[in-house]
Chain A
């Protein structure tokens, strides 16, 4: 079978520099698509591209906003890298993030005006534990009942979102909030400290960088990390070596849940400062793209999260300056992942003009 008269032939080794080239190709393709989209809606593509990809990086405030958006993306993406390296298809980081936000927020509401200034530590810890619990549900159902983790983790995203809706409409609603579905504003002690005033970047950013480095060290230097890599890359070899696939499942899902939960907690205890019906504009899903863009490398997630963060802010700017709908950044995220997959395929395979394709059976008939 041929594709447009061409066949796929595996290259002896992936094209040299593929790790760098294919993300760049994908970004280029996305920029071209963005320009075409601008033309379609009748905007000037050049100023549109500038708004999307350059304008976010202006001034200390601009960089601060990028760092702020990078925080949840990086945390969740590092967790997802661990899952995908272990061949665990958790796509529910969004749900783990939301539950982390709920738990962090619930604890933050306990703080009073005279709480210890380090109260936020409890908030972040609650977020981590909440996310871990949500990730553990996926691991448990997969481990104990063989339930498909893709579908379970995604269903848990919807359940988490309805849980948040329920809580802000009910038990956690601000009694003095004129019946709006918001919790009370958190006390200062419950908020993640800002590290670079006047920007809004908070402690979460540092934690995210630490998480990326720690995950890299874990994968490269620790035995548990090695077992996880083998279990993901070659499940049979792992079984033969006596490595437990269950351990990789639990470790990766607990880590991803914890990191995504932390992401949720630093969002509510960071820029949002209260619980609202929607605490994440799809960070957990965008983090999947970040993980792929980073070639499933924890350190690579840092620059990939940076790029995704620019696209998020670019989308907001395009909305306020050019009147483009915010949905554009969602479109571009999808295009980015699709073109990344194509670029990867082109690095791994060669498209050869098809010779008359002969299947083994036909070949047998001829002799």
Chain B
């Protein structure tokens, strides 16, 4: 493999990993608050269609991202009212959200199927993108890729270094104790769920505005579920989410690279790779019980009723 090809592969990996990184970082925050939202896939789908529609109608990618963010948050709001407010079963509610999002995005997206997008090229990073090899490999991405890095840094700092983060983690570990200390457990959980929805919204919008950029029914293709698996892979630590997201991004890219090289494996079998990798990673991480329990929020998935 030539150096130029490697640079292209790294660039493609960064692009493929970014939606996973955005979504998993958001989900990490709401899981640290003790809420498991299986609706990630649905939130990303609705954000993907909303983002694409807004982007195409206004011609502005930025407005598309804003629409995606709010669409993701609106869906997360449904989840928050049900699973946090009404203490419904979190698994079933998240699943319902995914089913609803899959149907509704297909419905809303009908006029946009096959619609071409001609978004303006994103602004380049001045002089960084001119660095010889490194510029092509790392610094020629859409700004959202770098914003995702900032997001991870912010979440890591907020969760592990601030008082707010401490409260969020307390709510996830022992909502009863946090409640007894006078913290508004359900408000904090709702806010965390909305944050997760906003991040999933950006991730969905990234897929339809930057990565593909098209609207196709069901285009999120399990990335919401993979993002959920990533939080386990990362044992709920932000920096490891970044590692995991780009690892999975590279798996996707290996698949395209092998296809491009004309390797004699059917494309359908290569397409299984990201899903197989998810299972393998889950198995490797989860088999060490003490490792997984070290950082796993103790009340993850359990409803809290004051």
Cβ 8 A contact of A331, one of B92, B100, B221: B100
Contact partners of B306 in chain A: CB under 8 A: 1, 7-8, 357
| CB 8 Å contact bits of B181-221 with A (1 = contact, 0 = none) | 11011110000000000000000000000000000010001
B286 within 8 A of A: yes
**Contacts A158-B275, A162-B271; A349 near B222 (Cβ below 8 A):** no
CB nearest neighbor in B for A91: B95
B101 and A154 contacting across the interface, CB-CB below 8 Å: no
A35 within 8 A of B: no
B305 and A8 contacting across the interface, CB-CB below 8 Å: yes
Q: What's the minimum C-beta distance from A359 to chain B, rounded to whole angstroms? A: 5
A361 within 8 A of B: yes
Residues of B in contact (CB 8 Å), total: 57
Contact partners of B106 in chain A: CB under 8 A: 325, 327, 330
**Contacts A8-B87, A341-B96; A327 near B279 (Cβ below 8 A):** no
Contact partners of B187 in chain A: CB under 8 A: 1
A31 within 8 A of B: no
Q: What's the minimum C-beta distance from A38 to chain B, rounded to whole angstroms? A: 12
A162 and B272 contacting across the interface, CB-CB below 8 Å: yes
A169 within 8 A of B: yes
Contact partners of B104 in chain A: CB under 8 A: 327, 330-331, 334
In the complex, identify which listed stretch (A142-150, A196-204, A255-263) lies at the interface while the others stay far away.
A142-150
Interface residues of B in 71-104 (CB under 8 A from A): 78, 81-82, 85-89, 91-93, 95-97, 99-104
CB nearest neighbor in B for A341: B88
B91 and A150 contacting across the interface, CB-CB below 8 Å: yes
A224 within 8 A of B: no
Q: What's the minimum C-beta distance from A284 to chain B, rounded to whole angstroms? A: 11
B120 within 8 A of A: no
Contact partners of A162 in chain B: CB under 8 A: 268-269, 271-272, 275
B110 and A145 contacting across the interface, CB-CB below 8 Å: no
Cβ 8 A contact of B287, one of A146, A152, A156, A333: A146
B180 and A361 contacting across the interface, CB-CB below 8 Å: yes
B95 and A288 contacting across the interface, CB-CB below 8 Å: yes
A155 and B279 contacting across the interface, CB-CB below 8 Å: yes
A18 within 8 A of B: no
A146 and B289 contacting across the interface, CB-CB below 8 Å: yes
Q: What's the minimum C-beta distance from B102 to chain A, rounded to whole angstroms? A: 6
B268 and A166 contacting across the interface, CB-CB below 8 Å: yes
Per the bound structure, the CA–CA distance linking A145 and B288 in Å amounts to 8
Contact partners of B107 in chain A: CB under 8 A: 325, 327-328, 330-331
B179 within 8 A of A: yes
Per the bound structure, the CA–CA distance linking A337 and B42 in Å amounts to 14
In the complex, identify which listed stretch (B25-33, B224-232, B244-252) lies at the interface while the others stay far away.
B224-232
22 contacts between A and B (CB under 8 A): A1-B187, A3-B85, A3-B86, A146-B292, A147-B279, A148-B229, A151-B232, A151-B282, A155-B276, A155-B279, A159-B275, A162-B268, A162-B275, A165-B268, A169-B268, A285-B99, A288-B95, A327-B106, A331-B107, A334-B101, A341-B96, A361-B180
